[in-house]
A and B are shown apart, each in its own frame.
Chain A
Amino acid sequence: MCPRSLYARLAFVLAAGMLSGGIQAASESLPAIHADASGGGVELGIKEYTEVTRHRPVDKSVTRLGKKESSKSTTDHSKLKELQGPFHSGPEVTEACLKCHNKAGDQFIRNKHWTWSFHNPKTGQQLGKRYLVNNFCTNAAGNEGMCAQCHAGFGLKDSRTYDFSNQKNIDCLVCHDSTGTYYKLPPTRGNKACAVLFEGKPAIDWTRVAQSVALPGRNNCGACHFYGGGGDNVKHGDLSSALFKPSRDVDVHMGEDGENFACVICHVGEGHQWAGSRYAPIAKDTQGKAKPGLPRQTATCESCHGDQPHGDLGLMGIKLNDHTDRVACPTCHVPSFARGGVATKVEWDWRTAGRTRNGVGYREEGYVQGNGESRHTYKSIKGSFKYAENVVPEYRWFNGTEIYTTVHTKFDPSKPVEINHLEGSGDDPGSRIWPFKRMVTYQPYDKGNNTLVYMHLWGDDKDAFWGNYDFARAIAHGMKDFDLPYSGEYGFVKTYSYWPILHMVAPKEEALACRECHAREGRLKNLAGMYMPGRDHNVWVDRIGLLAVVLTLLGVLGHGALRILLARRRKAS
Chain B
Amino acid sequence: MSLHKVKVFTRFERFWHWTQALLIFTLLFSGAGIHGYHQLMNFESMVWTHVIAAIALIILWIFAIFWHLTTGNWRHYLPTTDGLFAVARYYAYGIFQGEEHPYRKRYWHKHNPLQAASYLALKTLLFPLLWFTGLAYLSYGFWSQGPLTSDALYWVAVVHTGAAFAMAVFIVIHIYLLTTGHSFREHVRPMLTGYDEVDLTEAEEAYLRQDEPGRILD
**Interface residues, chain A, with chain B CB atoms under 8 Å away:** 315-316, 318-319, 321-322, 325-326, 426-429, 513-515, 518-520, 529-531, 533-538, 541-542, 544-546, 548-549, 552-553, 556, 559-560, 562-563, 566-567, 570
27 A-B pairs in the complex with CB atoms less than 8 angstroms apart? A315-B51, A316-B44, A322-B141, A322-B144, A325-B141, A325-B144, A325-B145, A429-B149, A513-B42, A515-B43, A518-B43, A519-B36, A519-B43, A530-B150, A531-B150, A531-B154, A533-B34, A533-B157, A538-B154, A538-B158, A541-B158, A542-B161, A545-B166, A546-B165, A552-B169, A552-B173, A563-B180
State the CA gap A271–B54 with chains docked (Å).
55
Apart from A426-B149, A536-B157: 19 A-B pairs, beta carbons within 8 A: A325-B144, A429-B149, A515-B39, A518-B34, A519-B36, A520-B36, A531-B157, A534-B34, A534-B35, A534-B36, A537-B36, A544-B165, A548-B169, A549-B165, A549-B169, A549-B172, A556-B173, A563-B180, A566-B96
**A316–B43 contact, CB under 8 A?**
no
Which B residues lie within 8 Å of A326 (CB)?
144, 149
**Given A514-B44, A515-B42, A560-B176, A322 and B150 contact (CB-CB distance below 8 Å):** no
B126 to chain A, nearest CB (A): 13
Which A residues lie within 8 Å of B83 (CB)?
none
B 175-188 to A, binary, CB cutoff 8 A, 1 in contact else 0: 01001100000000
**Given A318-B141, A541-B165, A556-B172, A562 and B154 contact (CB-CB distance below 8 Å):** no
**B44–A513 contact, CB under 8 A?**
yes
Which B residues lie within 8 Å of A553 (CB)?
172
- Residue B72, interface by CB 8 Å: no
State the CA gap A531–B144 with chains docked (Å).
12
Which B residues lie within 8 Å of A560 (CB)?
176, 179
**Interface residues, chain B, with chain A CB atoms under 8 Å away:** 34-36, 39, 42-44, 47-48, 51, 95-98, 137, 140-141, 144-147, 149-151, 153-154, 157-158, 161-162, 164-166, 168-169, 172-173, 176, 179-180
A440 to chain B, nearest CB (A): 29
Chain A interface helix/strand/loop/mixed:
helix
A288 to chain B, nearest CB (A): 15
State the CA gap A538–B144 with chains docked (Å).
20
**B150–A545 contact, CB under 8 A?**
no
Which A residues lie within 8 Å of B95 (CB)?
563
Which B residues lie within 8 Å of A426 (CB)?
149-150
**A570–B98 contact, CB under 8 A?**
yes
Which A residues lie within 8 Å of B51 (CB)?
315, 319
B144 — nearest CB in chain A belongs to which residue? A325
B218 to chain A, nearest CB (A): 30
B141 — nearest CB in chain A belongs to which residue? A322
Which A residues lie within 8 Å of B153 (CB)?
530-531
A546 — nearest CB in chain B belongs to which residue? B165
**A536–B162 contact, CB under 8 A?**
no
B197 to chain A, nearest CB (A): 22
State the CA gap A90–B146 with chains docked (Å).
55
**Given A520-B36, A549-B168, A429 and B158 contact (CB-CB distance below 8 Å):** no
Interface centre among B43, B51, B144 (most CB of A within 10 A): B43
**Given A427-B150, A538-B161, A552-B169, A533 and B35 contact (CB-CB distance below 8 Å):** yes
State the CA gap A396–B22 with chains docked (Å).
41
**B47–A514 contact, CB under 8 A?**
yes
A328 to chain B, nearest CB (A): 15
B108 to chain A, nearest CB (A): 30
B39 — nearest CB in chain A belongs to which residue? A515
Which B residues lie within 8 Å of A520 (CB)?
36
Which A residues lie within 8 Å of B147 (CB)?
427-429
State the CA gap A563–B94 with chains docked (Å).
10
**A556–B176 contact, CB under 8 A?**
yes
**Given A426-B150, A513-B43, A537-B35, A548 and B176 contact (CB-CB distance below 8 Å):** no
